[in-house]
Chain A
Amino acid sequence: MSKILEVKNLHKSFGNLRVLNGLNLEVGQGETIVIIGPSGGGKSTFLRCINHLEEYQKGEIIFLGEKIDKHHSNLNEIRTKIGMVFQHFNLFPHMSVLENLILAPVKVKKISKEEAIEKAKAMLKKVGLLEKIDAYPDNLSGGQKQRVAIARALMMEPVLMLFDEPTSALDPELVGEVLEVMKDLAKSGMTMIVVTHEMGFAKEVADRIIFIDKGVVVEEGTPDEIMKNPKHERTRNFLRHIL
């Protein structure tokens, strides 16, 4: 199993507020990692450091053998290989679904518009939204928006996908359709890091669950280990809250 991502001793603070305090994690090819933990524990910040939407002060992030920090010569190219899905979708509201999907492939990867459109159709079919190709984001349900957002990220053919609470802004009845798409993706061999508290999803597709609190990995293990037999008091308390 080859290593995709390696995070060593990561420290990050916002002014005086220390958010990440020496976080370590390794992710292998094809793994699905689920991150859980209390609000404010640094989960989002951690994901955002991985594709360098946030700078960090200490430690190392190594992605495909390259060190990701502010001195990296081409962060934009690195970012094309790391897809990100946000809690609030962040679709571009002034563009149709198709335009949302083809913008980055055409402008960043410089593939032809025709090729991008073909690819977009295939991708939308995969997430079950081909009929929405000309719709605008405002006319989609939350679940549809998030599926489009996933398709948009996949258009860049990323090596790693980051999900930051992708279903927590959705009405309960729309959560399932998004999780289905994510399960398919995990089973197709995509390497994924998912911040979520959907434990059913974690149980079904996670290779490992990571519990992050106060900016460190408190505990990690298989879904069974974490959910049935958490070693730390903090993990136990937290799980009691969400289960």
Chain B
Amino acid sequence: MEAISVVFENLPFLLMGALDTLKLTSFSVLIGLVLGTLIGMGRLSKIKVINVPSTVYVEFLRGTPLLVQISIVYFGLPQLGIQLQAYPAAIVALGLNSGAYIAEIVRAGIQSIPKGQYEAARSLGLTHWQTMRYIILPQAFKNILPALGNEFITLTKDSSLASVIGVTELMRRGQFVITRTFQTFSIYFGIALIYFLMTFTISRLVRYVEKRMAVA
């Protein structure tokens, strides 16, 4: 019984952490979206100096552990004279990481739009960028919304790694409570439940938006 009441007693403290997790994740996804859209388009460019770096970026960030990436940003960059606080460092690392995954999603999304759409727009005199902005990306984003939702969920879970550099998000706060109460199982399980509630809500939200957009 005590094991359960410990969770409830510390719930406000843990929920503050959940809020930080959500904030951390949202900022990172935002950075990831901007970065991923640019790099995703870059991957499809015929121009080598755009295409090659984009590909290298995606391969490197997907091929290395997020924990290592976070460590490079937080512990490594100071050696090069770039000092970031834990929270911004986590946002940067998670944002750069999700940028790589979102780039692949965006690339697939762009490729899912029939070539005729691009050609029709160009034949009307729109530039490449105007065509991307008004014709290709709006349609692509509609198609990739489920995949983007998945990325959001993955990132929500992965953001727990920010605890290792001392960001007081959900995981870190859970560990605080454990050092005070020694209730390892119930606190970790409680945290798991809170993570699940967040990811479940996000997936429902995405499905709702998807349905709304299918109607329009």
Interface, chain A (partner B; CB < 8 A): 48, 51, 53, 76-77, 79-80, 82-84, 86, 88, 90-94, 103-104, 107-109, 149, 152-153, 156
Contacts and interface: CB of A to CB of B under 8 A. Distances in A.
Nearest to B135: A92
Given A86-B120, A103-B126, A108-B130, 7 more contacts: A48-B119, A53-B122, A79-B125, A82-B123, A84-B120, A90-B120, A109-B125
B123 A53 contact: yes
Interface string B104-132: 00000000001011011111111100100
Given A86-B119, A90-B119, A107-B130, A156 B139 contact: no
- Best-surrounded residue of B114, B119, B138, B142 (most CB of chain A within 10 A): B119
A48 B116 CA distance: 12
Contacts of B123: 51, 53, 79, 82-84, 153
B199 to A, nearest CB: 29
22 contacts: A48-B119, A77-B125, A79-B124, A86-B116, A86-B120, A90-B114, A90-B117, A90-B120, A92-B117, A92-B121, A92-B135, A92-B139, A93-B139, A94-B139, A103-B124, A104-B121, A104-B126, A107-B130, A107-B134, A108-B124, A108-B125, A149-B120
Contacts of B134: 103, 107
Given A92-B135, A108-B130, A156 B116 contact: no
Given A76-B127, A107-B130, A107-B134, A92 B120 contact: yes
- Best-surrounded residue of B116, B120, B127, B135 (most CB of chain A within 10 A): B120
Contact of B126 (A83, A88, A107, A153): A107
Contacts of B125: 76-77, 79-80, 104, 108-109, 156
Interface in B130-170: 130, 134-135, 138-139, 142
Contacts of A83: 123
B142 A94 contact: yes
Nearest to A162: B123
Contacts of B117: 90, 92
Contacts of A48: 119
Contacts of A109: 125
A103 B114 CA distance: 19
Contact of B124 (A88, A93, A94, A152): A152
A108 B126 contact: yes
List the 8 closest pairs (A to B, CB-CB), nearest first. Answer: A80-B125, A90-B120, A104-B124, A84-B123, A90-B116, A108-B125, A79-B125, A76-B125
A79 B125 CA distance: 5
A36 to B, nearest CB: 22
A232 to B, nearest CB: 32
Nearest to B213: A94
Contacts of B126: 76, 103-104, 107-108
A120 B23 CA distance: 45
Contacts of B116: 86, 88, 90
A80 B142 CA distance: 28
A129 to B, nearest CB: 18
A50 B117 CA distance: 18
Interface string B37-66: 000000000000000000000000000000
A91 B121 CA distance: 9
Given A103-B134, A107-B134, A108-B130, A153 B124 contact: yes
Contacts of A156: 124-125
A15 B138 CA distance: 33
Nearest to A93: B139
- Best-surrounded residue of A48, A90, A152 (most CB of chain B within 10 A): A90
A80 B126 CA distance: 8
Contacts of B114: 88, 90
Nearest to B133: A107
A79 B130 CA distance: 14
A93 B142 CA distance: 12
A79 B119 CA distance: 11
A156 B142 CA distance: 28
A91 B120 CA distance: 8
Interface in B163-186: none
